[in-house]
Amino acid sequence: MAIAYRARWLVPWNRVIPIRQGRSPPLPPDARRVKRILILGDLLGWRRRYLVDALALRWREAGHRILKRRTTRHLPDADVVILHVDRTVVPGRISDCLKSYPVVLNRQAVDISKRAISRQLVAPGDDYAGPVVVKTDANCGGLPEHPLSRYLPTRFGRGRAWAKVAAIRPDRYPVFAGKAEVPPGVWENPALVVERFLPERRDDLYYLRYWIFLGGKGWAGRLGSPQPIVKFSNAVTPEEPVEVPDALKARRTALGFDYGRFDYVEHDGEVILLDVNKTIGGAHRMDEYKDRLDDLASGIEDF
């Protein structure tokens, strides 16, 4: 989702608040409601700004202790751990280091690849004749794992060079009229998937819905674009609030998400989950979301 951060609001990942080697001191009896919140990222985190940074400042202002780590060495005690590893699949060694912590947000959400979450996958031999879209199996176009990749669909056209594609900008996922139009190299490439293209349309626009949540708090919205791959950057309609459908809430429970963002559409009355994100990034229009973020931050009290 697109939310920007003022520099004074950011808590750099190389700064721990507070930090000491080894275990942090126990809380005094009169401060039991204060939480020690450990945000565990990793050294490969490619974004400079995350939504959790804005939440962390609100938690600190509420009196909670915020600890940040980018490695699993010398992890401190914590009441709540936020597993914030910006990778499609969280390495098992990281999950193993958190087994002793009683509360770990997104403990179960360790694989968000398209092959793990999508119900729209298409194989070459499937009996499906509708439009399709080519995406990366990895989250966010594969950019977290391949931030320096320059492979783009416009560069390779229809040839077998698609077999080498490791990353695609998510706003450039190509849509084809049918699977017969998909370049051969796509089917050969394990880094790519083909999905049924099931858009939500009204008049001449395509629509995307999103839901951001933390515990029992959150909000959902819808925006429209003339582009088939709808993003905040190409939206042309004012954002409108929407209700979160029960079917999407059920998917959240099944996927084990405590915090994150789901992108979805409603196609012919059916809820279609397109993408999930457990390390929400930041972009523009921060002031418009201040009240929503204040409320979202209070979701930490559910844990």
pLDDT at res. 42? 86
Q: Which residue has the higher pLDDT, 2 or 95?
A: 95
> What's the CA angle centered on 252, arms 250 and 257, to 5 degrees?
150
Whole-model pTM: value is: 0.86
Using one digit for the tens of pLDDT, what is the confidence trace for 179-238?
999 999 999 999 999 999 999 999 999 999 999 999 999 999 999 999 999 999 999 999
- Which pairing describes strands 80-83 and 65-69: parallel, antiparallel, or unpaired? unpaired
| Residues 8, 14, 18, 23, Cα dihedral to 10° | 160
pLDDT at res. 152? 52
> Closest Cα to residue 56, out of 85, 30, 17?
17
Distance CA 78, CA 61 (A): 18
Q: What is the mean pLDDT of the chain?
A: 86
